[in-house]
């Protein structure tokens, strides 16, 4: 059995079409309880004003796997949900096989996040790491070398940089 908290009739119909009698739907945002099932799907648009506080209060402290379903998934919201302890984040109206896969993974102690959003999150993380290593490299330069590096980064020609700093063009190269 699994519990869905939603105030959306269309979402409720969609979830019932996926899980049938296996799902119980409630309109109130309920405290996670293993007696209601090992999986609780929260339709985020139904609880815009309450969801953040609810997740902070319950998501990391419960044996129930919390799923946040949203109508328009995005990376930032996914990462915030994961930080709060949410085990899955998904599109509210995703296809049945994805919901079945999500359920199977969560029942086996795993997590589920949309692959396309995970790819974007990893891109952001990679960019952050590249920026960090670039700043580390800049720390090794003198103040003047940094000025020249920034002039290069701004796209100035080697000749213009050489003239600006009073150095030979080959030094800039």
Residue 167 DSSP code: -
Whether residue 3 contacts residue 37, with contact meaning beta carbons closer than 8 Å, is answered with yes
Length of the chain equals 173
Interior/surface letters 78-90, b for 16+ CB within 10 angstroms, e for the rest = bbebbebebbbbb
- For the question of whether the overall pTM of this predicted structure is more than 0.85, the answer is no
pLDDT in tens, the chain (173 residues): 799 999 999 999 999 999 999 999 999 998 888 887 889 999 999 999 999 999 999 988 888 999 999 999 999 999 999 999 999 999 999 999 999 999 999 999 999 999 999 998 888 778 776 655 556 666 777 777 777 777 777 777 888 888 888 888 887 77
Tokens of 116: 């396309």
């Amino acid at each position: 059995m699994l519990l869905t908290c939603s105030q959306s009739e269309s979402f409720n119909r969609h979830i019932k079409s996926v899980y049938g009698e296996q799902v119980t739907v409630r309109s109130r945002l309920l405290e996670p309880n293993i007696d209601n099932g090992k999986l609780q799907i929260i339709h985020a648009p139904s609880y815009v004003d309450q969801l953040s506080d609810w997740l902070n209060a319950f998501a990391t402290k419960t044996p129930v796997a919390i799923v946040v379903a949203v109508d328009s998934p995005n990376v930032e919201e996914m990462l915030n949900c994961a930080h709060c302890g949410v085990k899955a984040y998904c599109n509210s109206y995703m296809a049945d096989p994805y919901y079945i896969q999500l359920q199977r993974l969560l029942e086996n102690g795993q997590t589920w996040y949309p692959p396309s959003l995970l790819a974007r999150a990893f891109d952001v993380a990679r960019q952050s790491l590249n920026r960090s290593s670039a700043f580390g490299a800049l720390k090794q330069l003198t103040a003047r070398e940094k000025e020249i590096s920034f002039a290069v980064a701004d796209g100035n020609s080697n000749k213009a940089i050489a003239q600006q700093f009073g150095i030979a063009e080959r030094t800039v190269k």
